[in-house]
Amino acid sequence: MPDLPPRSAFPDTRAWLRALPSLPGDPAVDPGQIPTQPSVLFLRWLEEAVAAGEPNPQTTVLSTATSTGDVDARVLTLKDVDEHGWWFSGATDSPKGRQLAENPAAALTFHWPGRGRQVRVRGRVEAGSAEISARDYLERSATARAVAAASRQSEPLTDEAEYDRAVAAAGARIEADPDFVARGWQAWCLVPDSVEFWLADPGRRHQRWRYRRAAPTGWSTETLWP
């Protein structure tokens, strides 16, 4: 990004934001050449983001809502993409776990700014089996497993030492029993109804394609206005 004066050099925040460069884009894509399955195009774009050196290209924003329509979002790590959908994981007693139990409708948003690319995946979330969830947990590092086992995610933390003690105790339990799986650890799959790909254009002639589920394993595609 080109060097810019600090925000204080601008009359207001709006002027500063408008001065920031935006929307780099890759060369245009021929819509006739996109694959029939959205997961194929997604994995192609993800591989290209990795090859281009995009930082943390596997991270995504998961958007959820409660049964009363209160919305929430957080950044997390994509764990897998397969014939069922896009996988992620976490604790069932976390805010996202409780929200998904109330309302399984959700969306994932991937953004690779250096490539000028975005993918939005929308659908319903299904819980993976106990075996899939256990495998996901056990594939994590020992530190990550200890934190997941000890954490009371999003609850107020009034004593840092309490956190350290809880993680240390969980770590000792994992060291004694390497097959231990934290209670309530869950792998979820977002089964998509719609997958939209967006390719930026500096002249605002953005390219957009949307896949819609046409059958259990089939998809229709359409080009959208920018």
Binding residues for FMN, by number, are 74-79, 96, 118, 153-154, 198, 208
Binding residues, by number, are 74-79, 96, 118, 153-154, 198, 208
Q: Which residues pair with 143 in a beta bridge?
A: none
Q: What does the pLDDT profile of the chain (226 residues) look like in tens digits?
A: 567 889 999 999 999 999 987 777 676 777 778 899 999 999 999 999 999 999 999 999 999 999 999 999 999 999 999 999 999 999 999 999 999 999 999 999 999 999 999 999 999 999 999 999 999 999 999 999 999 999 888 888 888 999 999 999 999 999 999 999 999 999 999 999 999 999 998 888 899 999 999 887 799 999 999 9
**pLDDT for res 106:** 99
Cα–Cα distance, 81 to 64 (Å, whole number): 19
Token pair, residue 163, equals 């956190």
Closest to 92 (Cα-Cα) out of 183, 216, 175, 2:
183
Cα–Cα distance, 131 to 145 (Å, whole number): 16
Closest to 104 (Cα-Cα) out of 112, 116, 94, 96:
96
Domains belonging to the chain, first-starting first, are 23-138+186-223 (2.30.110.10)
Cβ atoms 12, 168 nearer than 8 A: no
Token pair, residue 92, equals 């069932």
Cα–Cα distance, 155 to 142 (Å, whole number): 23
Cβ atoms 84, 191 nearer than 8 A: yes
Contacts of 169 (CB under 8 A, 6+ apart): 150
Burial of 184 (0-12, 13-18, 19+ CB in 10 A): middle
Cα–Cα distance, 72 to 94 (Å, whole number): 12
Q: What is the pTM of this model?
A: 0.91
